[in-house]
Structure formats: C-alpha cells, structure tokens
Copies of this chain bind each other. A is one copy, B any other.
Amino acid sequence: MGTRGRGRSTGGSRRVTITTVAKAAEVSVATVSRVVRNHPDVKDTTRERVMQAIEELGFRPSPLARALVSGHSATLGLIVRDMASPFYPELAKVVEHEAGRQGLTVLICGTADDPEVSGNCVRRMLDQRIGAIIHASVGLDEEELVAEVGDQAPVVFVNRRPRMRDASFVVVDNRLGARRLTEHLLAQGHRRIGFIGGPAWASNAAERRAGFLDAMRDLGPGCESLVSDGDFRLDSGRARAHSLLSRDGRRPTALIGVDDLVAIGAMEAALERGLGVPEDVAIAGFDDTQFASSRLIGLTSVAPHIDQMGRAAVRTAMRLSQQGRRRPIREVIEPSLVVRRSSAAAGRRISAAAGRRSSAAPGRASG
C-alpha cells in the first residue's frame, strides 16, 4: 500500500519471476514451481522457505507462461447471445463472480446467434488456450462448435440442451416450467392461451413450447392453444401479441412469452390495444429477470434460478477441465413459478413475500 512510485517503476525493482524466487529461497525453479502448484513432492521445510520467499517478493506466477507451456490456462470463456438481453447479464454476473472466487479469469463474447461471429469467438478463445467454454448462446450448430473445439477445451452448454450425446450441460427443466405455468393459467380459468415462441433452432424455446402444448393437451381438454413463433426480441413479442390479440371474438385471455423480454413486448401490445393486464389478458414469461420482478411490471415468470445455473456452470467447467473430462456432466435445475400481478386474477394472488426470488411452485405440480 502506498508504493508512491512516481509512475516509472522505482529503478532497481525488476520483475519477480520464478527464478528470482528460486534464488532467494536457494532452491531450483522446479521446486518453486512445485510449491506454487501444490505438488506433494516437496519437503515441508523447503516448502515453507519457498512460500516465505514468494510472500516477501510478492511473486505472482505468469498465467501466460504457464498457459504457453502447459497448454491450458485458468480462463473461462463465456459465450452469450446478447449481453443486452436481460437473462445474460444476470448469468454473466454470477459466472464472473463465481469464477473470480476461484481465481479464474473470464473472457466474454456475444454472438448474435450468428455462426460466423460465434466461430471467430470460439477460435479466439481457443487460441488463448482457454480452460473451458461456457456456451450460453443458442445459435451455432453445436456439431460445428464441438468439432471446432475438438478436445482443446471442455464445453459446458448452459440454458440449452445439446442434441448430441456426451455433451455436458446445465439447464433448467423447461418443460416442467412451462407445464407449471400453464397449469397456473388454467387454474385461473383461462381457456384460450397463446404462446409466443422463439426461433425454431433454439432448443430452450422449443422445450418451453412443447411443455406448454403438452400441458394444454393433458390438463386443459377442450381448451384452445395458439402458437406464434418469433425470435427473442421485445419487438417480436409485441408484434406477435398484436396479431394474437387482434383475433376478434376469439382472442386469447392469456399469453405466454418464450422469455421475459418477449412477454414484456406482449404487455406493451396489450397496453397499446387498451387491454388491461391481467383483467383482459394475463401475461407471463420465462427467466424471472430483474425486469419482470419490478413492481411496475409485475410479470409472472418461470424462474430458472440463474444464480444456481451460473454457479453450476462454473463448477462443471472446472471439474471437466481438471478431471480430463472423462465423461459428460449434466445438471437439470428445477424451475419455480413466480406468480405476479400480470397473471393474478383477483389482483392479489401474488404470494405474500413479493420479493424477487420468492418461489411459488406449489406441491400440486404434475408428475
């Protein structure tokens, strides 16, 4: 603290390398290296001496040199679709925080689900001998991705269930989430429900949609399901909602957005048409993002527990990169339903604690 150097480093203080430490501790660089890496084959007294030298000199090993020689660095690559879409920054925050706690650095990259951007991104990461890739985008065909990566780094898919065998992933049970949400809406008396979906290639969108349709079939005999696919953007949600809500006489009384942003687009559309939410049309989304939880919006949403997902992703990535990734690690998180004003018929079915993370998944969940 308070080095008070005048900008230029203070004359003599050359950079502290492993060699410096070796000399100070009167051992070879190999031994210092062992100590730093916690290799067992070091006598306790030696270890002590080296540790002290490290401490005194303020030695910090160069991740660069380390990565160059060992072939992989303590760096995580996080690939997202769009940092500006509310789900991703929340995920990024958790991942970065968790990674930081483990001393890992996080490289970030936003593809716009453009395979080319995505490819560049992955290549740049591999060139850095990245330790593991956390892939939370949905675009690039995963075959290509995995082929490109080969065995250069383990890949963890997040929020997306890859089609291929032996891939590792951390996802939320989207079908279950959709089912619970649908169940909730049916219980509210809705008989005509619209689903505003995502692009065909997005597996999580497909799962949510399928979950909705299955639930309608199983639980809402005689009810009508309307599906309209768009992409993940707000404007798409709005446009699709407008079109669904314009069916005179037969318009849906409830709308589900494939994610919160789309649902918010739908809310905007309702507003623009002079429809009250939830009186005229109930609306719900997926992801339980900050946006949804604001009382100004009060959007009912399926919570994938982003923090849990993020932490699991980092843990998985670390395990894979350590254990030589013998076999895939898969994790499925149970979603919960957070009911808010946008779908609360009586205006007060919101669970007592209106706080953000309150889970309201009831016991009556289907089997």
Contacts and interface: CB of A to CB of B under 8 A. Distances in A.
A4 B147 CA distance: 7
Contacts of A106: 107-109
A62 interface: yes
A105 B110 CA distance: 11
A83 interface: yes
A96 B109 contact: yes
Contacts of A65: 68
The count of identical subunits is: 2
A357 interface: no
A82 B92 CA distance: 10
Nearest to A129: B64
Interface stretch (A119-127, A210-218, A219-227): A119-127
Contacts of A151: 7-9
A264 interface: yes
A83 B307 CA distance: 13
Interface string A68-109: 100001000000001110001110110011001001011111
A246 interface: no
Nearest to A126: B60
A294 interface: yes
A64 B60 contact: no
A352 interface: no
Identify the interface centre among A83, A103, A109, A271: most chain B CB within 10 Å of its CB.
Answer: A83
Given A84-B93, A89-B92, A108-B92, A3 B147 contact: yes
B295 A297 contact: no
A264 B294 contact: yes
Contacts of A147: 3-5
Interface in A270-299: 271-272, 290-291, 294-297
Given A61-B127, A89-B89, A297-B297, 12 more contacts: A3-B147, A8-B150, A60-B127, A63-B128, A68-B68, A83-B93, A84-B90, A100-B109, A100-B117, A106-B107, A268-B295, A271-B296
26 contacts: A4-B147, A5-B147, A7-B151, A9-B151, A60-B127, A61-B127, A62-B68, A64-B64, A64-B73, A64-B128, A83-B90, A84-B93, A88-B89, A89-B92, A93-B110, A96-B108, A100-B121, A105-B109, A105-B124, A105-B125, A264-B294, A268-B294, A271-B295, A291-B291, A296-B296, A297-B297
